[in-house]
């Protein structure tokens, strides 16, 4: 049939039967291989899952995971020149995770006793620390010691099996290279507490995390905070890491915050205000853009205290006040939370209201007779008791004549039921409401007016309704007026810069750790008010002469000052122990410099400081000197002689 | 003659093919279909219960994707079942060229995962050409086996076929993808085996392999030119001694053994920790069998293996049933491919083979693998359907 049998390949030989048989054989071989494979697999599975199951179950239980939070460093806080005001340092802290301590009381006790011997702490102290910290910061491991030596780290690592639950961890701690400097601006950080955890701005923050609690640490917390990293590590049944990291998310450090604070101005302000040993506050601000160059309050506190895991009772009382003293505590920032009458520093604001409402002109003459009759035979007198005779606005500001402004206050009381031009202008210029500074806790203060007092009277909270005498008081910054140095600085800045009511701010910019600027902080003014330039010029001239013309109220301090300035003293009468009661004089000074085109405004107040020229003015002068010297001037700070007596008839 | 017409209402309704008939399901091998669908369903179930917390906020991430891959794969299976595989024989040159081009393209411009280039990124998805290459190689090689048979001596035929199969294996090995290279070799050997190559030729091949292995593992490293990459060598050696170094490559084997072993007879269910806590690496792909073993125990593992046994049994049966040798070679190649995948993957998981990175068909997460496996099942179905049609026509022919 086939001629050449050999040429046909085997598979195409037409011997279907033989091929079929051979194919079936080979399929059978494949099937056999499959059978062998499956048998091997099944026997092995039987061995693993049935015969050795107990061993592997135990190993699986030894395979435990612990989630470790890797703390992200908070951003640094810098002054305007880039110097660090707040930094982080790493500290080795000895920590105890109480849930990992032995559960049996005697074992637990003996471990802690052993640990105590190692670090030189009595058992009672350790127990006390654990107890206290658990109450204060329940979510965190208890920190027994900060900055432990490396020897201890190694010893604990080598003997970890004897100290379950004890570990030394690296933590970031806030550190303040300049001590208490700018403490009120900087604020401090603490572990987040339960109510805060519910706030939307702390979304993503876990119990045990540190968040800002005051100052810019609080207001810029979301910027500074960073995002904690996370590691899931394999641990054995004893809780010891095996060194195998299952997953890791790197921490993301917070952004750095640069402040507008100028270190020399801040230092000068703090030392000047604290030099009197009296409570007080100061603000130095750029009049055009609201950048705060210095802001401080005396007494101050040491923010590094909060870097410790737990505050003692005494520390808490020293910072937050004991609750019995009538004096607010150091934590209180008088520059933005003070509620003081402003004394005569109010007079330029009264002048604006008088001139703009047409009740007063630059040439209006008021004859100071020494006794301003407010009815019922009652006289309001100048602070010095004398009489200055006939005056126009500029000399009245120069000598700070009270009679003159009593009269203006009386004219401005257009109604006993509605706010008049004085209230309107005081509020427009920034009093009676918060300025919106980027610091937490700012108070709004109070500009008293008829609706306010009459409302209280209706509720029987005061003994009388509004009368024009109240307006007379307000015109000179006495009585019910409540304001703080920041509000006064803002109002003066508006007069000085031509009508911009700036939004004060301490933040300048936000940069990534690599230096890239993320955000520049330059808020627009709160509003612009139109003040007639001639009125401005008159008012500035008046307070310029008050500072630097013979007979001016602060001439003793600024008379020989090399930079022309425009500054106004204030002496506010306060009744800190209740009215009626002993009255004390609160010293105020607000100054714009250089005159007539000011760049900077400084406001200082010293509680119980006496007349404005006695305490606040010299302090303001030191701050100005620091400002101008850091801007290329070389003004020698002559020891300003604080006037002990005041020899003019004006009020201060 | 009387013609009686029935009233319309008594007329028999015209028989319309149902949906299942129209897509050709009724003519498929039912057991093969059940096995494949059972595996993909079990895969989806496994992902549904084990990957809920894998990606935060996306509990269905794996299930949805694997279901989509499965759907695409099933569509391919039905499509392939309806064509006559014999036509692929004519396309052998094209198939072979396409296969070579795609795997070389990967080598040149593919994206690398863990130092290994296996994927090509297309606009909407990434695809692993070496997976599809398995089927292309099989169809082409089987075609050549019949072709070459006509005028070459047996030894020449064997040598040429081997060269054609081992060339792509070498390229894939260079990607480097040890597991898939192994699949290519197994497919080549299976085609030769079914084609009826003499036993002596296989013996000769074994001798050559033994020499080559000596060269690769002993001589080349001594001469300073290691052929295997560091991690490949590690995997091969660490397998011999799993508990020696728990932190490196034998870590995977150890964790896999713990997972499988702790599963016990009926599994740890919700108590399973090995995969959930991330101890088990590659839990959703190469080590999916360990997840099954831990979660569902011996019972679950045996169930999965039975489904594979079912697939392989049907594949071998279809090899025998095929109407022609080409079909036998394709079916036999697929049977061998499945056997290799299952045995090597499971063998790695249970610690009897070195880690090579090879998916468990239809169980492991991954589009390329799932779709290509379904395509292979589709080819088997095609061989089955054609064999049934041929025997029916033979039976009809003999009846008349």
Tell me the HSE value of A507 on the side-chain side, using a 13 A CA sphere. Answer: 29
Tokens 């831990």, residue located? B294
Order across the sheet with A584-593: list the strands. A292-298, A280-286, A600-606, A584-593, A566-574
Minimum Cα–Cα distance from A18: chain B residue: B196
Tokens 């086939």, residue located? A2
In order of A215, A541, A613, A652, the CA distances from A546 in angstroms are 35, 8, 11, 10
Do the chains contact at B264 and A50, CB–CB below 8 Å? yes
Best mutation target among A34, A64, A235 (most B Cβ atoms within 10 Å) is A34
The pLDDT value recorded for residue A326 is 53
The pLDDT value recorded for residue A289 is 92
The H-or-E segment that residue B314 falls in is helix B288-321
- With a cut of 60, say whether residue B64 has pLDDT above it: yes
Q: What is the topology classification, in CATH, of domain A66-259?
A: Penicillin-binding protein 2a (Domain 2) (3.90.1310)
Minimum Cα–Cα distance from B149: chain A residue: A9
| Residue A494: strand, helix, or coil | helix
The pLDDT value recorded for residue B6 is 55
| Number of residues that make up chain B | 400
Q: Kind of pairing, strands A379-380 and A292-298?
A: unpaired
Q: Angle formed by the axes of helices B325-349 and B367-399, to 10°? A: 150
The partner residue sitting opposite B149, judged by closest CB among A9, A29, A33, is A9
The pLDDT value recorded for residue A370 is 82
The contacts of residue A47 (CB under 8 Å, 6+ apart) are: none
pLDDT in tens, B301-358: 999 999 999 999 999 999 999 999 999 999 999 999 999 999 999 999 998 888 888 9
B332 touching chain A per CB within 8 A: yes
Cα separation of A175 and A84, whole Å?
10
B310 touching chain A per CB within 8 A: no
Cα separation of A504 and A486, whole Å?
8
Q: Kind of pairing, strands A77-78 and A256-259?
A: parallel
pLDDT in tens, B240-284: 555 444 445 577 888 899 999 999 999 888 888 787 777 787 888
The pLDDT value recorded for residue A137 is 62
pLDDT in tens, A213-254: 899 999 999 999 988 888 877 776 656 666 677 777 888 889
In the structure encoding, which two tokens stand for residue A278, read together? 């009296």
The pLDDT value recorded for residue A6 is 46
Best mutation target among B194, B199, B249, B262 (most A Cβ atoms within 10 Å) is B262
Best mutation target among A53, A60, A234 (most B Cβ atoms within 10 Å) is A60
| Residue A87: strand, helix, or coil | strand
Q: Kind of pairing, strands A600-606 and A280-286?
A: antiparallel
A237 touching chain B per CB within 8 A: no
How many angstroms from the chain centroid is the CA of residue B57?
32
Residue bearing the bigger pLDDT, B293 or A324 = B293
Minimum Cα–Cα distance from A247: chain B residue: B278
- Contact between B61 and B52 under an 8 Å Cβ cutoff? The reply is no
Q: Which of B306, B279, B242, B239 is nearest to A41 (CA)?
A: B306
Residue B125 banded pLDDT, cuts 50, 70, 90: low
* Category of A553 on φ-ψ map: left (φ > 0), alpha (ψ -120 to 50) or beta: alpha
| Residue B273: strand, helix, or coil | coil
Tell me the HSE value of A632 on the side-chain side, using a 13 A CA sphere. Answer: 0
How much is the pTM? Answer: 0.64
Q: Judge: domain A263-629, CATH 3.40.50.10860.
A: no
Best mutation target among B153, B193, B258, B261 (most A Cβ atoms within 10 Å) is B261
- Contact between A64 and A234 under an 8 Å Cβ cutoff? The reply is yes
User: Chain A contacts of B351, Cβ < 8 Å?
Assistant: 44, 48
- Contact between A254 and A225 under an 8 Å Cβ cutoff? The reply is yes
Do the chains contact at B277 and A57, CB–CB below 8 Å? no
C-alpha dihedral, B50 to B54 to B57 to B61, nearest 10°: -70
Cα separation of A589 and A345, whole Å?
7
B316 touching chain A per CB within 8 A: yes
Cα separation of A461 and B213, whole Å?
102
Handedness of CA B173, B177, B181, B184 (dihedral sign): negative
Do the chains contact at B264 and A45, CB–CB below 8 Å? no
Q: Which of A178, A217, A261, A204 is nearest to A441 (CA)?
A: A217
Those of residues 333-362 in B touching chain A at CB distance below 8 A are: 335-336, 339, 342-343, 346-347, 350-352
The alpha-carbon gap from B177 to the nearest alpha carbon of chain A, in Å, equals 23
Q: Where are the alpha helices (DSSP H) in A103-247?
A: 105-119, 123-136, 150-158, 183-186, 194-197, 215-219, 221-224
User: Chain A contacts of B193, Cβ < 8 Å?
Assistant: 26, 29-30
Cβ neighbours around B200 below 10 Å, total: 11
Those of residues 243-302 in B touching chain A at CB distance below 8 A are: 246-247, 251, 255, 257-265, 268, 273-274, 277-279, 293-294, 297-298, 301-302
Residues of chain A with pLDDT under 50: 1-8, 11-13, 647-652
Cα separation of B252 and B242, whole Å?
9
User: Chain A contacts of B247, Cβ < 8 Å?
Assistant: 243-244
* Category of A290 on φ-ψ map: left (φ > 0), alpha (ψ -120 to 50) or beta: left
Tokens 């700012």, residue located? A442
The pLDDT value recorded for residue A2 is 41
**What percentage of chain B reaches a pLDDT higher than 90?**
47
User: Chain B contacts of A31, Cβ < 8 Å?
Assistant: 313, 316
The partner residue sitting opposite B339, judged by closest CB among A29, A34, A42, is A34
Q: Is the ipTM of this complex over 0.90?
A: no
Q: Do domains A66-259 and A263-629 have the same CATH topology?
A: no
The pLDDT value recorded for residue A78 is 93
User: Chain A contacts of B319, Cβ < 8 Å?
Assistant: 23, 27, 30
User: In this structure, what are the phi and psi dihedrals at residue A275, rounded to the nearest 5 degrees?
Assistant: -65, -20
Those of residues 40-69 in B touching chain A at CB distance below 8 A are: none
How is chain A split into domains, by residue range? 66-259, 263-629
- With a cut of 90, say whether residue B119 has pLDDT above it: no
Residue bearing the bigger pLDDT, A624 or B56 = A624
The alpha-carbon gap from A110 to the nearest alpha carbon of chain B, in Å, equals 34
Minimum Cα–Cα distance from A24: chain B residue: B320
Q: Which of A552, A546, A440, A453 is nearest to A492 (CA)?
A: A546
Q: Which of A436, A440, A407, A403 is nearest to A422 (CA)?
A: A407
In the structure encoding, which two tokens stand for residue B121, read together? 């990124």
In the structure encoding, which two tokens stand for residue A57, read together? 């179950």
């Amino acid at each position: 049939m086939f001629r050449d049998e050999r040429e046909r390949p085997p598979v195409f030989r037409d011997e279907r039967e033989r091929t079929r048989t051979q194919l079936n054989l080979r399929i059978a071989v494949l099937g056999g291989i499959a059978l062998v494979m499956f048998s091997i697999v099944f026997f092995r599975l039987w061995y693993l899952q049935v015969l050795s199951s107990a061993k592997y179950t135990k190993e699986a239980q030894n395979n435990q995971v612990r989630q470790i939070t890797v703390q992200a460093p908070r951003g640094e806080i810098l002054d305007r020149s880039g110097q660090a005001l707040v930094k982080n340092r790493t500290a080795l802290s000895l920590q105890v995770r109480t849930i990992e301590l032995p559960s049996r009381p005697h074992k637990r006790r003996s471990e802690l006793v052993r640990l105590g011997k190692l670090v030189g702490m009595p058992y009672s102290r350790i127990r006390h620390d654990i107890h206290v910290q658990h109450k204060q910061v329940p979510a965190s491991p208890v920190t027994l010691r900060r900055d432990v030596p490396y020897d201890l780290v190694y010893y604990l690592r080598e003997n970890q099996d004897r100290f379950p639950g004890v570990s030394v961890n690296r933590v970031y701690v806030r550190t303040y290279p300049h001590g208490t400097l700018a403490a009120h601006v900087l604020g401090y950080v603490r572990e987040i507490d339960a109510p805060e955890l519910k706030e939307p701005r702390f979304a993503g923050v876990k119990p045990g995390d540190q968040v800002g609690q005051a100052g810019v640490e609080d207001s810029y917390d979301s910027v500074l905070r960073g995002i904690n990293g996370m590691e899931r590590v394999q641990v054995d049944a004893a809780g010891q890491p095996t060194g195998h990291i299952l997953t890791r998310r790197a921490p993301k450090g917070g952004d750095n915050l640069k402040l507008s604070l100028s270190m020399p101005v801040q230092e000068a302000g703090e030392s000047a205000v604290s030099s009197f040993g009296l409570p007080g506050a100061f603000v130095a601000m750029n009049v055009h853009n609201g950048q705060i160059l210095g802001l401080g309050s005396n007494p101050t506190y040491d923010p590094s205290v909060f870097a410790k895991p737990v505050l003692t009772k005494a520390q808490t009382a020293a910072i937050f006040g004991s609750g019995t003293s009538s004096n607010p505590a150091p934590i209180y920032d008088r520059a933005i939370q003070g509620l003081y009458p402003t004394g005569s520093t109010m007079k330029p604001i009264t002048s604006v209201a008088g001139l703009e409402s047409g009740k007063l002109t630059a040439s209006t003459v008021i004859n100071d007779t020494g006794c301003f009759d407010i009815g019922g035979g009652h006289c309001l007198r100048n602070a010095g008791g004398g009489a200055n005779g006939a005056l126009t606005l500029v000399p009245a500001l120069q000598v700070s004549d009270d009679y003159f402004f009593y009269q203006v206050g009386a004219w401005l009381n257009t109604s006993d039921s509605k706010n008049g031009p004085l209230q309107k202008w005081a509020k427009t210029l920034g009093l009676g409401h918060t300025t919106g500074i980027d610091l937490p806790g700012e108070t709004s203060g109070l500009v008293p007016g008829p609706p306010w007092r009459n409302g209280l009277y209706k509720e029987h909270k005061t003994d009388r309704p509004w009368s024009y005498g109240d307006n007379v008081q307000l015109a000179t910054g006495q009585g019910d007026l409540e304001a703080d140095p920041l509000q006064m600085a803002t109002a003066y800045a508006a007069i000085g810069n031509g009508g911009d009511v700036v939004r004060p701010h301490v933040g300048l910019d936000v940069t990534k750790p690599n230096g890239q600027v993320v955000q520049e902080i330059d808020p627009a003014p709160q509003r612009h008010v139109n003040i007639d330039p001639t009125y401005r010029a008159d008012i500035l001239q008046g307070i310029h002469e008050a500072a630097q013309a013979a007979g001016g109220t602060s001439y003793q301090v600024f008379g020989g000052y090399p930079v022309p300035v425009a500054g106004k003293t204030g002496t506010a009468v306060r009744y800190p122990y209740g009215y009626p009661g002993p009255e004390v004089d609160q010293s105020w000074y607000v100054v714009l410099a250089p005159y007539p085109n000011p760049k900077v405004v400084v406001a200082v107040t010293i509680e119980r400081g006496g007349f404005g020229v006695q305490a606040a003015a010299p302090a303001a002068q030191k701050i100005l000197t620091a400002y101008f010297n850091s801007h290329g001037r070389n003004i020698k700070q002559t020891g300003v002689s604080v006037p002990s007596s005041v020899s003019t008839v004006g009020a201060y | 003659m009387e013609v009686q017409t029935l009233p319309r209402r008594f007329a028999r309704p015209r028989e319309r093919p149902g949906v299942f008939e129209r897509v050709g399901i009724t003519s498929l091998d039912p057991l093969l279909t059940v096995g494949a669908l059972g595996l993909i369903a079990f895969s989806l179930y496994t992902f549904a219960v084990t990957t809920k917390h894998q990606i935060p906020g996306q509990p269905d991430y794996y299930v949805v994707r694997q279901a989509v891959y499965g759907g695409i794969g099933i569509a391919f299976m039905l499509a392939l079942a309806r064509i006559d595989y014999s036509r692929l024989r004519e396309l052998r040159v094209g198939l072979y060229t396409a296969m070579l081009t795609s795997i070389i393209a990967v080598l040149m411009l593919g994206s690398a995962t863990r130092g290994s280039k296996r994927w090509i990124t297309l606009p909407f998805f990434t695809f692993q050409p070496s997976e599809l290459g398995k089927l292309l190689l099989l169809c082409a090689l089987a075609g050549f086996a019949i072709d070459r048979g006509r005028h070459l001596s047996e030894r020449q035929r064997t040598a040429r076929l081997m060269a054609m199969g081992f060339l792509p294996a070498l390229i894939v090995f260079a990607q480097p993808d040890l597991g898939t290279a192994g699949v290519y070799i197994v497919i080549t050997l299976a085609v030769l085996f079914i084609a009826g190559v003499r036993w002596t030729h296989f013996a000769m091949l074994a001798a050559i392999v033994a020499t080559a292995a000596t060269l690769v593992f002993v001589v080349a490293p001594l001469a300073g030119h290691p052929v295997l990459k560091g991690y490949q060598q590690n995997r091969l050696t660490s397998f011999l001694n799993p508990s020696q170094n728990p932190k490196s490559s034998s870590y995977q084997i150890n964790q896999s053994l713990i997972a499988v072993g702790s599963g016990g007879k009926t599994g740890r269910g919700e108590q399973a920790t090995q995969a959930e806590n991330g101890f088990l690496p590659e839990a959703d792909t190469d080590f999916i069998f360990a997840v099954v073993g831990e979660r569902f125990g011996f019972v679950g593992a045996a169930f999965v293996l039975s489904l594979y046994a079912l697939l392989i049994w049907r594949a071998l049966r279809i090899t025998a049933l095929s109407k022609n040798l080409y079909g036998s070679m394709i079916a036999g190649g697929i049977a061998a491919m499945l056997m290799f995948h299952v045995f090597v993957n499971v063998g790695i998981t249970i610690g009897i083979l070195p880690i090579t990175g090879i998916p468990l068909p239809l169980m492991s997460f991954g589009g390329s693998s799932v779709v290509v496996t379904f395509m292979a099942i589709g080819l088997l179905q095609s061989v089955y359907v054609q064999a049934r049609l041929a025997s029916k026509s033979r039976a009809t022919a003999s009846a008349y």
